[in-house]
Structure 1
Amino acid sequence: MAPAGETRIWTTVDFDQDGKQHDWLRLPFSTDQSAYGVIPIPITCIRNGEGPTALLIAGNHGDEYEGQVVLSKLARQVEPRDVRGRILILPALNYPAVVAGRRLSPLDEGNLNRLFPGEANGTPTQMIAHYVSSVLLSMADIVVDLHSGGRSLSYLSCCLIRAGKTGAETARLMELMKVFGAPIGSISDGTGGGGATTLSAVAQALGVPTLTTELGGGGTFSSAGEAVASQGLYRIFKHMGILPNAETKSPPPVRLMQVTGRGAFTYAPIHGIFEPAVELGDSVEAGQSAGFLFPLEGPHRAPEEIRFAQSGLVACRRAPALAAPGDCLFKLVTDVGAN
């Protein structure tokens, strides 16, 4: 899935130069107020000689904060003398969405992680996706895309992979996921969410191993999620020889889980205020009450009880109490191999 066309985004960073460089990716964007303007997307390149390249991304969705903080700290803390290879850090990939605190870009309402591989001459969000697909992924030996639940969802900390095209590819991804060491490791067949239009899908098509995370959410900041990401990244760096002398703790056991069909998702059928009956991390049974939606019309209309369609572990929950028809209230995961 190689993107077509030559990118219009540019930077002064020399990706082959040793040392630490902080700069912007410059995305051309002409407006009434700035005819020759550019959108500045922060980037840091840390390089020291030959070795693997790690591409680290946060702010793919602008309202997901743990990864943005982790990568901002890492860009300042890691020194070139300690590196063997190269680390590329983009803590605010969808910069317009990051500044607005939104999942989608305010420039074009684009959901960056649903627009890969992008277009060279498309909307601003499509141009960002195209640059990642056509320029950055060609340099990468591993990608870590740090997500959280954003405004609308709260998540248990987890690391996600897509099943590989071969058994060997899947085994390699499983190894990296266990090294990263999030409490839950989730395996997807790639058919849910954005399907073929996510960063992980395009990276996989280009043969680049990719780890994705969920680290918290609800528009808040989780220190526990930040710690999972920070420790996981340093373990990956040491495992790949990028930071061979990094001091790391052994990864904790990873509970391997998966989303089992559409029944894993519970949706709101009406407009209402949601009173949940369970919490993140709870184990639930099929038919169990998930909570009640209280209609906005008033008390003359009885609340509607919501029930789970299948059994599993509550991996994410809607954060805002107000829900509309079609809003996801819960997502369940089940242990790999469980019937």
Structure 2
Amino acid sequence: MTSLLDSMLWTEHALPASSAHGSVPVKIGEVGSGGPVALITAGIHGDEGPWGAWAIRQLLQSVETSALQGTLRVIPAANPLAMTADLRNAPLDQLDLNRTFPGNEKGSYTERVAHLLAQTALEGVDTVIDLHGGGSWCVNSFVFRMQGGEMLSDCFDAPFSMKAPDRAVSLTGYTRTLGKAVVGVEMGGKSGYERHWAERITKGLHRALAKVGVLSEAGTPAREYETIPVGGSTVLRPTNGGVFVPAVGPDQIGTIVPGGTILGHVYDPGCVELLETLTAPFDQTAILLLRPFITQIEGGAMTYVVAEPQA
């Protein structure tokens, strides 16, 4: 038996980087020919990259080439310099790649990455699946629902789904302007539950690729979880910086808690005085993002993302 991973052909596209690096390769893999074409990306934000790359590998390793009906293209590390630094953005120019599309061939490093993805990776695609996650400091538990890609959103068994912001400069937003079906997945992150979230994403990728005809329906994993739609998200930020101590753990990401539930505390690191308590703001509060570990935190930092469930 031959897996998609065994059959994947890889090409490297060198991008000018720093004087020390010379150039950095962006690696694009492709398997199959003809039929519907789907692109899976991960690592648009570098600190979110490893979880998406792992899920892509699990998919490629677990699916046999005989199941392929179209063409699959993958980019596990779309922003390699940012991933190397474990940062959201590449340190060379600090631009957010997901706010830079369609890029600029003669621009700075991040603008050139966006141009490469827009002109090369998106060529001929019908569907784009963009994997994000909480990264090294938080855990996420939702999927963006975008017009024309609703069926893709439903494939991922995300705890929550939310309407995507209208942002044409993101990868998925730009791809939507081209008339393609897209989905943005925001699941997983560093928490001790990495294997659970990677498996959940892997199964979602399999379902989505079968839904759009890139893979056959045979052997597609059945859905296991309910996805609850939520309204617009609310970001909870501490007024003061200090030592953050969570009151809800990573096992509660993707759950709904009663209003007033204590989510976390912020303490003065000098005299250990309690500075602030963060609580669930809605009668029924869906937890879309949380910080699972004790850490230092600055005033105004994103600490939780919450929303109200919709009937």
1:143 aligned to which of 128, 134, 147: 128
Paired residues of 2:10 and 2:30 also in contact (CA < 8 A):
yes
1:290 aligned to which of 258, 263, 268: 263
1:93 aligned to which of 52, 60, 78: 78
Residue of structure 2 in register with 1:174 after alignment: 150
1:328 aligned to which of 285, 294, 302: 302
Paired residues of 2:282 and 2:308 also in contact (CA < 8 A):
no
1:96-151 per-residue CA deviation (whole Å, 9 max, x = no partner) reads 11222222212222321222222221111111112222333242111111111012
Aligned pair in 2 of structure 1 residues 97, 266: CA closer, same or farther (>3 Å)? Answer: same
Residue of structure 2 in register with 1:55 after alignment: 39
Any residues of structure 2 matched to 1:89-238 within 5 Å, and which?
89-156=74-141, 158-162=142-146, 164=147, 169=148, 173-178=149-154, 180-190=155-165, 195-218=167-190, 222-238=194-210
* TM-score using structure 1 length: 0.79
Gaps spanning 5+ residues in structure 2: where? 1-6
Matched residue type, 1:27:
L
Residue of structure 2 in register with 1:8 after alignment: none
Matched residue type, 2:246:
P
Gaps spanning 5+ residues in structure 1: where? 1-18
* Residue correspondences, number: 299
Any residues of structure 2 matched to 1:17-32 within 5 Å, and which?
20-29=8-17, 31=19
Any residues of structure 2 matched to 1:310-325 within 5 Å, and which?
310-311=282-283, 312-320=285-293, 321-325=295-299
Paired residues of 1:20 and 1:44 also in contact (CA < 8 A):
yes
Two-structure CA RMSD over aligned residues (Å): 2.4
* TM-score using structure 2 length: 0.86
Aligned pair in 2 of structure 1 residues 190, 304: CA closer, same or farther (>3 Å)? Answer: same
Aligned pair in 2 of structure 1 residues 288, 30: CA closer, same or farther (>3 Å)? Answer: closer
Residue of structure 1 in register with 2:4 after alignment: none
CA distance in 2, matches of 1:112, 1:86: 25
- CA displacement at 1:53 relative to structure 2: 0.3
Matched residue type, 1:270:
N
Any residues of structure 2 matched to 1:201-280 within 5 Å, and which?
201-218=173-190, 222-244=194-216, 246-260=218-232, 264-279=234-249, 280=252
Q: Which stretch shows the higher mean deviation, 321-330 or 247-256?
A: 247-256
- CA displacement at 1:83 relative to structure 2: 2.0
Matched residue type, 2:213:
G
